[in-house]
Amino acid sequence: MTSPMSSAAAPLQVTVAPGAVTPAPDAPPQGGAGRSPGQLARLRFRRDRTGVVSAWVVLFFFVAGVAAPLIAKLYGKDPYTTYGQNQPGLLNDFGFPVKPNGGIGGDFWFGVEPQLGRDVFTLLLYGIRNSLLIATVTTLLVTALGIVVGITAGYLGGRVDNLVGRVIDVLLAFPSTLFFIAFWPVLISMFVSPEDNTPTWLIVVSLIAVMTAFGWAPMARLLRGEVLALREREFVEAAKVTGASPARIIFRELLPNLWTPILIQATLALPMYVTTEAALAFLGVGLQDPTPDWGVMIQRGSQVYQDDITYMLFPGLSMVIFVIAFNLLGDSVRDALDPRIRR
Amino acid sequence: MTITDPLLDVSGLTKHFPIRGGFPFPRTVGAVRAVDGLDLQVAEGESLGLVGESGCGKSTTGRLITRLLEPTTGRITYAGRDITHANRRQLASVRPEIQMIFQDPYSSLNPRQTIGRIVAAPMEIHGISPAGGRERRVRELLELVGLNPEHYNRFPHEFSGGQRQRIGVARALTLSPKLIVADEPVSALDVSIQAQVVNLLQTLQRDLGIAFVFIAHDLAVVRHFSQRVAVMYLGRVVEIAHRSDLYENPRHPYTRALLSAVPEVTAEGAPPRDRIRLTGDVPSPIDPPSGCRFRTRCWKATDQCAARTPPLARIEGDATGHLTACHHPETVEKPAAAQGPATPG
């Protein structure tokens, strides 16, 4: 061996004394604070016009739902009174609105319901309120359950992960809509005798429970995969080397990195639960007349649309607008949070 | 080994990763012997370089010493305390003293935390409030590693690779450790930045008296940084010596082959240096060769090498502390040793 590595060691002679970057301790703290990934995402979102518009549309629907009683009070009507039967001149002998376009007018902004003669505007408001309540609560529960199960399975790994993985496989393979239709009446009959009226709160609670029980699997699966990838990252090992507890690693190191997939999945789940709930109501599972609901209104509309298409239009169009806006919002949120994805 | 009262004493350390197979009931069908009978010692304030090619178990060794992995057998003693199978609670008092610098500056910092929080995290975990507050300590550390302390509130994505590695160094220094395991701390950086970071580490080692286990595959970097160097092959130390002994007087054939593979700029027309070309691949650590691990690629291998594992011992004529695990060591090359450049540092 001749002159071992004299040249290979040469670049290391470049001496840059640490501290050469002269820090100015007295410098004003301007520019000291950097932009967090969250702030950057918010900036990107604000530049996305589709996202901003759909956010306003979605917000409008939520405000309408939350403020439904107030709006109804100002408007002076409620969704239960059968105005058409009480006031002459609104419905004809066959039970259809006398005025054109479903009876739209100054008194009844969205018209009058055929036969029963309820006010369509308040029906829709309360329908939005109930549907969104069910979908939002379900989404929150599904997200919470998915986070807990997914992170646990991913972080612990091994047997727990295997077991959870198989349960998720079964749940995803399950025809859940058919299951709801077949077993929901059975579930209700366990609590209420067939002679009695089923209380609305029980319907709502059971509906949310059943949808949550079948809905957490995709979220859990997604987060499990994310955690599997994250826990191999060196910053998790760095936390372990300093002696961090598993709780600290999960809540301080992992969870902040998981909000992106959680938020994306949740924004995609909510419109899905709105449509699922409506589809179930349409099929006779879940909320029923006279409880106002998007799905119930569409079901009612399907009975009369040949003679009065207007009644069907309001719940149908509003739901389409809401679901499209929410999905576009979900897309924009994803683009803002994950700028590497280009479409 | 001759170090009396070492800071870190590793003896007979093994780590076997089980291979699971079989259907429908998976069972252990074999093991990857990533580390298989490793001995080394690190004295207080000393830097030990750990070199070897990819897959020889360098990083696994680092992760065993910091107890990110559970050793299969063997013993790890830190400052007289057996930490081989200590759990998280038992390790709590040792954790502040053994820290780690990671290879990839892009994945070793949490992208969602400000560097102030990243560097302060070890103090938070151990409930330490230094005089003047945690923020002041973090600012001091940032200044120490050559970063602007005003960048306290910035996020990792706003920094370059070299700056990020400095943040990782600052984090490792937060609790004033006595031993830092640096797992290829510069191999992800480009050469000019490598020099800066290595020089930073060297200054810190000298000024703060921190012992280092410096894992690298770049022999030049190790030569620059470490007082002693251990060469690993297939999960074992084949040669360990003071830097000048090892680089100028390699006794193990593998060390020699490794040193001869370092690229070199020679004068035009000068005869090219002899390069020892090893044939074949590194044998699989699942089924390592019997006896000497290197015998399958060694040009000196005999029947004895297959039958008996050579012990890591001092060979006649070597300096104290120069241990080699070989039945047929290379002969001393006086001229080569004389031509060697003065070791930097």
Q: What is the CATH number of the domain that holds A60?
A: 1.10.3720.10
Q: How many CB pairs under 8 A join A and B?
A: 181
Put simply, the chain A residues between 284 and 343 with a CB less than 8 A from any chain B CB are none
Measured at the alpha carbon of residue A334, what is the angle toward residues A328 and A337, in degrees to the nearest 5?
140
Q: Closest approach of chain A CAs to the CA of B13, in angstroms?
A: 19
Chain center to CA of A209: 16
**Alpha carbons A293 and A277: distance in angstroms, whole number:** 9
Does the pLDDT value for residue B22 go beyond 90?
Answer: no
Query: Do B150 and A34 count as a contact with CB atoms less than 8 A apart?
Result: no
Which tokens hold the place of B181? Answer: 């395991």
Judged by average pLDDT, the poorest of A86-90, A291-295, B58-62, B84-88 is: A86-90
Please name the member of A8, A15, A235 whose beta carbon is closest to the beta carbon of B108: A235
ipTM of the complex: 0.85
Output the pLDDT for position B332. 65
DSSP state of A76: T
What pLDDT band is residue A187 in, cutting at 50, 70 and 90?
confident
Q: Is B117 exposed, middle or buried (0-12, 13-18, 19+ CB in 10 A)?
A: middle
Does the pLDDT value for residue A9 go beyond 60?
Answer: no
DSSP state of B301: -
Query: Do A25 and B336 count as a contact with CB atoms less than 8 A apart?
Result: no
**Alpha carbons B113 and B155: distance in angstroms, whole number:** 6
Put simply, the chain B residues between 215 and 254 with a CB less than 8 A from any chain A CB are 219-221, 223-224, 247-248, 250
Which tokens hold the place of B8? Answer: 């870190």
Q: Which residue of A has its CA nearest to B149?
A: A23
Q: Is A81 exposed, middle or buried (0-12, 13-18, 19+ CB in 10 A)?
A: middle
Which tokens hold the place of B9? Answer: 């004493």
Output the pLDDT for position A14. 40
| Neighbour count for residue A243 (Cβ, 10 Å) | 20
What pLDDT band is residue A18 in, cutting at 50, 70 and 90?
very low
Residue A129 counted as domain residue:
yes
Phi, psi of B16 (to 5 degrees): -110, 120
| Neighbour count for residue A64 (Cβ, 10 Å) | 17
Q: Are strands B179-183 and B98-101 parallel, antiparallel or unpaired?
A: parallel
Residue A123 counted as domain residue:
yes
pLDDT tens by residue, A70-119: 999 998 888 888 888 888 888 888 888 888 787 787 788 888 888 888 88
Q: Is A248 exposed, middle or buried (0-12, 13-18, 19+ CB in 10 A)?
A: middle
CATH superfamily of the B8-20+32-114+174-262+274-339 domain: P-loop containing nucleotide triphosphate hydrolases (3.40.50.300)
Q: Which residues of B are less than 8 Å from A15 in CB distance?
A: 195, 199
Chain center to CA of B64: 11
Query: Do A253 and B110 count as a contact with CB atoms less than 8 A apart?
Result: yes
Please name the member of B68, B99, B109 whose beta carbon is closest to the beta carbon of A235: B109
DSSP state of A11: G
Q: Closest approach of chain A CAs to the CA of B163, in angstroms?
A: 11
Query: Do B125 and A243 count as a contact with CB atoms less than 8 A apart?
Result: yes
Does the pLDDT value for residue B335 go beyond 80?
Answer: no
Could you tell me if B344 lies within 8 Å of chain A, comparing CB atoms?
Answer: yes
Select the more confidently predicted residue: A138 or A80: A138
Closest CA to A311 of A84, A86, A129, A149: A84
First to last CA, chain B: 24
Virtual CA dihedral for A250, A149, A167, A206, nearest 10 degrees? Answer: -170
Q: Which residues, other chains included, contact A245 with Cβ-Cβ below 8 Å and sequence gap of 6+?
A: B88, B125
**Alpha carbons A70 and B181: distance in angstroms, whole number:** 65
Angle of helix A120-156 relative to helix A200-230, nearest 10 degrees?
40
How many domains does chain A fold into? 1
Q: Which residues of A are less than 8 Å from B92 in CB distance?
A: 243
Chain center to CA of A342: 23
DSSP state of B341: P
Q: Which residues, other chains included, contact A42 with Cβ-Cβ below 8 Å and sequence gap of 6+?
A: A336
Q: Closest approach of chain B CAs to the CA of A267, in angstroms?
A: 21
Phi, psi of A24 (to 5 degrees): -105, 95
**Alpha carbons A124 and A129: distance in angstroms, whole number:** 8
Q: Closest approach of chain A CAs to the CA of B2, in angstroms?
A: 27
Residue A87 counted as domain residue:
no
Virtual CA dihedral for B124, B125, B129, B132, nearest 10 degrees? Answer: -40
Q: Closest approach of chain A CAs to the CA of B30, in angstroms?
A: 18
Please name the member of A5, A29, A256 whose beta carbon is closest to the beta carbon of B262: A5
Determine the structural domain holding residue A199 and report its residue range. 40-79+118-337
Residue A111 counted as domain residue:
no
The size of chain A, in residues, is 343
Query: Do B143 and A23 count as a contact with CB atoms less than 8 A apart?
Result: yes
Residue A6 counted as domain residue:
no
Please name the member of B91, B192, B339 whose beta carbon is closest to the beta carbon of A2: B339
Q: Which residues, other chains included, contact B184 with Cβ-Cβ below 8 Å and sequence gap of 6+?
A: B58, B59, B103, B215, B216, B217
Q: Which residues, other chains included, contact B246 with Cβ-Cβ below 8 Å and sequence gap of 6+?
A: B229, B231, B239, B240, B255, B322
Q: Could you give the C-alpha distances from B98 to A247, B210, B211, in angstroms and in order?
A: 22, 10, 9
Say if residues B172 and B108 touch (Cβ distance below 8 Å). no
DSSP codes joined into one string, A220-282: HHHHHHHHHHHTTSHHHHHHHHTT--HHHIIIIIIHHHHHHHHHHHHHHHHHHHHHHHHHHHH
Domain boundaries, chain B: 8-20+32-114+174-262+274-339
Could you tell me if B345 lies within 8 Å of chain A, comparing CB atoms?
Answer: no
pLDDT tens by residue, B197-230: 999 999 999 999 999 999 998 888 899 899 999 9
Say if residues A136 and A82 touch (Cβ distance below 8 Å). no
pLDDT tens by residue, A256-315: 889 888 988 998 899 999 999 999 888 888 888 888 898 889 888 888 888 888 888 999
Please name the member of B100, B224, B273 whose beta carbon is closest to the beta carbon of A241: B100
Q: Which residues of A are less than 8 Å from B103 in CB distance?
A: 234
Does the pLDDT value for residue A6 go beyond 70?
Answer: no
Put simply, the chain B residues between 139 and 158 with a CB less than 8 A from any chain A CB are 139, 142-155, 157-158
Measured at the alpha carbon of residue A37, what is the angle toward residues A33 and A40, in degrees to the nearest 5?
85
With a pLDDT cut of 70, the percent of chain A lying above it is 89
Phi, psi of A261 (to 5 degrees): -60, -35
Q: Which residue of A has its CA nearest to B105?
A: A234
Could you tell me if A73 lies within 8 Å of chain B, comparing CB atoms?
Answer: no
Say if residues B153 and B144 touch (Cβ distance below 8 Å). no
Closest CA to A258 of B102, B110, B104: B110
Query: Do B339 and A238 count as a contact with CB atoms less than 8 A apart?
Result: no
Query: Do A35 and B155 count as a contact with CB atoms less than 8 A apart?
Result: yes
DSSP codes joined into one string, B99-119: EEE-S-TTTSS-TTS-HHHHH
Q: Closest approach of chain A CAs to the CA of B166, in angstroms?
A: 10
**Stated pTM of the model:** 0.79
Closest CA to B103 of B221, B224, B270, B233: B221
Mean pLDDT over B154-158 rounds to 88
Q: Using the Cα atoms of residue A79, residue A85, residue A87 and residue A93 in order, give the sign of their dihedral.
A: positive
**Alpha carbons B253 and B279: distance in angstroms, whole number:** 13
